[in-house]
Amino acid sequence: MEVNAARLANIPVLPFLKRLDYEADRDSGDAKKRDAFRKEIGSWASGYFVSEFFLASDLSDKVGVTLVSVLTESYLNIEVQRRSMLTVPVSGEAHEQERPSLSLDPLLVDLVRKREVLLFAGAGMSLGAGFPSAQALVELIVSQVRERSDDLSGTALSGSFQEVAEGFELVYGRKALLEVIQKALSAPQGIGPTRAHHLSVRLFNCVLTTNFDRLFELACEQAGIEYQAIFGDIGINPETGRTLIVKIDGSISSTSSLVLTTRDALGVRQHKPHLWKSLMSLLNRSPVVIVGHSLRDMNTKGLLEYRDPDLPGYIVAPDISSFDDRRFTSRGLRVVRSDADTFFSSVASAMGLDL
């Protein structure tokens, strides 16, 4: 009954069958029902695979590897494509009716209207489009180690994404690490810029981001907005008349630019001195709005460390703990509790921008 309910709800069922001992009962009524069920579940055309296990430890490893593989490859690709085919356009009027109201600081709206604000975008904005989180990338790296038949102690691959990526690179090399990351970020058809991305490139002349993907670039291309994506060692000139997309940790379009490990992060200031100096200057003289970022990675903390706390600054996230609230406030950042879509829509509405 449970399995049939899952199938009716289009929930993937991943069968792991315990390997039966040679002496196992195969003649009783219960045994025949068991074997019939095992045969049925293993022969479904819609099943992804059937795997056998003997010990609990064996099952644990197989389930971990399989779930990460299915979620990052077949299931994610199939489900995103299915969702994109089922999606229907929603009228602007429907958006207005469904969008929650958000009270905004008038100073923030005025600064955005004057184009004086930098947008600093983190992984939270890419998550909304369907890209994996840093923790999902960590799980994928761990699963790749297990696929190579290497065993892991409890601390062998632990810590932040950059720390885990560095451990993997030390053992298997940079090429192997890049293959894992490219595989995870190879967007299936249907993943594209969200409403937040589309509105942000209309509201801000300069977007700083630690994300590897091209969602901001795609948003500009789809809107016919001229832009410049910056991830090499060059100075930043905000007066070009183009929307600037500054990719602090590199871009998936140039794998040599990617900042994946702690060693990469430490090397940014040394290997990209012109870019780093420009970023420091921009952040030390401009108001900033931070969206979808926890401010915990090494380079972000380095850039914000000496920023003038008296400059207007805002950080936007739907769920912020009291501890993080105090952490952000100590940096001179005012907390805005909102998801990205609602925030950008509210700012655009307050400015009278045609949505």
Average pLDDT, the chain: 84
Residue 95 lies in a domain: no
The boundaries of the domain holding residue 345 are: 103-130+192-350
203, pLDDT greater than 90: yes
The CATH number linked to 119 is: 3.40.50.1220
Joined together, the tokens standing for residue 325 give 């609230």
124/19 Cα distance (integer angstroms): 42
**pLDDT (tens digit, 9 = 90+) per residue, 71-119?**
655 445 544 444 444 444 444 444 444 555 688 999 999 999 999 999 9
Among 303, 295, 315, 274, smallest CA distance to 117 is for 315
278/284 Cα distance (integer angstroms): 10
Say yes or no: 340 and 273 in one domain.
yes
Residue 324 lies in a domain: yes
Residue 96 lies in a domain: no
Say yes or no: 67 and 154 in one domain.
yes
Q: Which pLDDT band, with edges at 50, 70 and 90, does 355 fall under?
A: low
Residue 98 lies in a domain: no
* Consecutive H or E run containing 112: helix 106-113
The amino acid at 317? A
Residue 91 lies in a domain: no
Say yes or no: 164 and 313 in one domain.
no
| Phi, psi values for residue 34, rounded to 5° | -60, -50
**pLDDT (tens digit, 9 = 90+) per residue, 332-347?**
999 999 999 999 999 9
Say yes or no: 325 and 234 in one domain.
yes
The amino acid at 320? I
Say yes or no: 141 and 213 in one domain.
no
> If you average pLDDT over residues 1-9, what whole number do you get?
81
Say yes or no: 21 and 160 in one domain.
no
* Consecutive H or E run containing 83: helix 74-86
Predicted model pTM: 0.74
Concatenating the DSSP letter of every residue in 238-275 gives GGGSSEEEEETT-BTTBGGG---SHHHHHHHHHH-HHH
Say yes or no: 177 and 136 in one domain.
yes
Contact 235, 278 (CB under 8 A): yes
Residue 97 lies in a domain: no
Say yes or no: 285 and 319 in one domain.
yes
CA angle 125, 241, 216 (to 5 degrees): 15
267/256 Cα distance (integer angstroms): 13
The domain total for the chain is 3
Say yes or no: 227 and 307 in one domain.
yes
